């Protein structure tokens, strides 16, 4: 029997009575499948926006990558997000809207501890799996089994967060004896400074100054004068971007010296503060998550960074992108791999996959342990050195921010003491 052409087959099917046609239709193509919606609140305005907006661009790059390869579980992905205005009070309502009005499939956090902790009761009330981004010890009180953290502080986050910083201090010769602690009166800084106090006491050092300030502080001169009067050898600060800038400018105006100065000063990792502060950063030692030092160039991270930087200017976001963007992209890689491993968007199955798998990401291998923190910590400590002027391009040189610890990632040596310079 000669083969039937497509045209002849179509004609025969058209001639059949309706009852003879199949009772089921082919399933929808991937292009027609409803998208998987991923919801979050992010700082698009306010004091945290310089960081938050850069994370959104990174997540958009991830979504484009996934959709170009056919989607996630055969469906395209779509990001649904709202501006929390860098105001923690706005966060719970946004997640209620995402889950009960928009009915998103998955949720993740926005950037920052202070903007994530208020979401936890809503997330827990809806039994959702939740991956946070740069959030310190958010789950230490809740112990929620479906929470996972993209911050490399390990199973004891409050203490490990400053541990490498104080290890560096203890290696100074002669051994220092006195410490000053200065922290904002807010969630992140409280967690960081609580751990710092315990680390100082465990090391047998003496706290000679321990102060907090309101996050709304406008003039940091009195705060820094009191810090200078304490004359501590080691200064540990826990601050967010607006106050970080205010403290460093006040230190420049007043004159401040310490054998080791810095700690959890958030914000100086961004291009905005780097170019604003310029040489005022020299000598400052900070806790970092990642920098593009040769020792930390994990597979795929530099290629991602190149793509991010290519669109950063047009998007009006951090042109360097070394702080949040690689982690925002890696966080979505974790979510993607968990869904693929589970073969489902079911929150219980997703959480199960996250607890048992090691994920391959742009910032290296990620595995979760107690309270959803990293099973193995990997914070680094860096120091700004050799900054001249306020030119952006100089900050593309990794030699201006050397890695001091841990030893496995070291790329330079500590310069001490810290002496603030006039602006």
Give the model confidence (pLDDT) of 254-269 as tens digits. 999 999 999 999 999 9
pLDDT band (50, 70, 90) for residue 7: very low
pLDDT at 166: 98
d(CA 206, CA 137): 25
pLDDT at 82: 98
Say if residue 9's pLDDT is above 50. no
- Same domain (yes/no): 193, 267: yes
- Same domain (yes/no): 405, 257: yes
Say if residue 423's pLDDT is above 80. no
pLDDT at 4: 37
Tens-place pLDDT, residues 295-306: 999 999 999 999
Q: What is the CATH number of the domain that holds 68?
A: 3.40.50.2300
- Same domain (yes/no): 254, 352: no
pTM: 0.89
pLDDT band (50, 70, 90) for residue 32: confident
- Same domain (yes/no): 286, 170: yes
Say if residue 201's pLDDT is above 70. yes
Its domain, for residue 287, covers 157-295+378-419
For the CA atoms of 237, 243, 247, 250, what is the dihedral angle to 10 degrees? -170
Report DSSP state, residue 161. H
d(CA 418, CA 61): 39
Residue 265, helix vs strand vs coil: strand
pLDDT band (50, 70, 90) for residue 31: low
d(CA 383, CA 257): 15
Share of the chain above pLDDT 70, in %: 92
pLDDT band (50, 70, 90) for residue 154: very high
- Residue 346, CB-side half-sphere exposure with 13 Å CA sphere: 8
- Same domain (yes/no): 393, 276: yes
Say if residue 235's pLDDT is above 90. yes
Question: What total number of domains does the chain contain?
Answer: 2
Is residue 3, in this structure, part of any structural domain at all? no
d(CA 316, CA 164): 34
Report DSSP state, residue 90. G
- Same domain (yes/no): 164, 232: yes
Q: What is the mean pLDDT of the chain?
A: 92
Is residue 22, in this structure, part of any structural domain at all? no
Say if residue 180's pLDDT is above 50. yes
pLDDT band (50, 70, 90) for residue 3: very low
d(CA 242, CA 240): 6
């Amino acid at each position: 029997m000669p083969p039937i052409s497509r045209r002849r087959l179509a004609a025969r099917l058209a001639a059949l009575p309706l009852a003879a046609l199949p009772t089921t239709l082919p399933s929808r193509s991937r292009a027609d499948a409803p998208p998987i919606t991923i919801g979050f609140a992010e700082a698009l305005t306010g004091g945290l926006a310089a960081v938050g907006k850069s994370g959104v661009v990174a997540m958009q790059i991830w979504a484009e990558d996934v959709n170009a390869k056919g989607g996630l579980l055969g469906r395209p992905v779509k990001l649904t997000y709202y501006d929390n205005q860098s105001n923690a009070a706005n966060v719970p309502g946004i997640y209620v809207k995402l889950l009960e009005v928009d009915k998103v499939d998955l949720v993740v956090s926005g950037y920052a501890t202070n903007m994530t902790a208020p979401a936890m009761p809503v997330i827990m009330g809806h039994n959702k799996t939740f991956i946070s981004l740069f959030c310190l010890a958010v789950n230490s009180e809740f112990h929620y089994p479906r929470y996972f953290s993209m911050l490399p502080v390990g199973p004891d986050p409050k203490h490990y967060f400053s541990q490498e910083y104080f290890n560096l201090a203890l290696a100074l010769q002669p051994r220092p004896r006195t410490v000053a602690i200065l922290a904002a009166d807010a969630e992140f800084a409280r967690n960081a400074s609580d751990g710092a106090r315990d680390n100082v006491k465990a090391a047998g050092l003496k706290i000679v100054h321990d102060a907090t300030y309101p996050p709304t502080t406008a003039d940091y001169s009195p705060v820094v004068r009191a810090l200078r009067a304490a004359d501590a050898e080691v200064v540990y600060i826990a601050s967010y971007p607006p106050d970080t800038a205010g403290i460093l400018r006040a230190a420049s105006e007043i004159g401040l010296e310490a054998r080791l100065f810095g700690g959890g000063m958030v914000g100086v990792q961004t291009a905005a503060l780097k170019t604003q502060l310029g040489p005022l950063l020299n000598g400052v030692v900070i806790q970092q998550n990642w920098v593009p030092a040769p020792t930390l160039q994990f597979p795929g991270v530099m290629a991602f960074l190149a793509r991010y930087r290519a669109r950063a200017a047009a998007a009006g976001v951090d042109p360097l992108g070394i702080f949040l963007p690689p982690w925002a992209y890696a966080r979505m890689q974790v979510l993607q791999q968990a869904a693929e491993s589970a073969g489902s968007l079911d929150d219980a199955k997703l959480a199960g996959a996250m607890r048992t798998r090691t994920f391959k990401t742009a910032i290296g291998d990620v595995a979760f342990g107690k309270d959803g923190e990293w099973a193995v910590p990997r914070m680094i400590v860096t120091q700004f050195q050799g900054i001249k002027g306020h030119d952006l391009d100089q900050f593309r040189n990794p030699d201006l921010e050397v890695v001091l610890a841990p030893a496995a990632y070291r790329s330079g040596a500590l310069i001490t003491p810290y002496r603030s310079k006039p602006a």
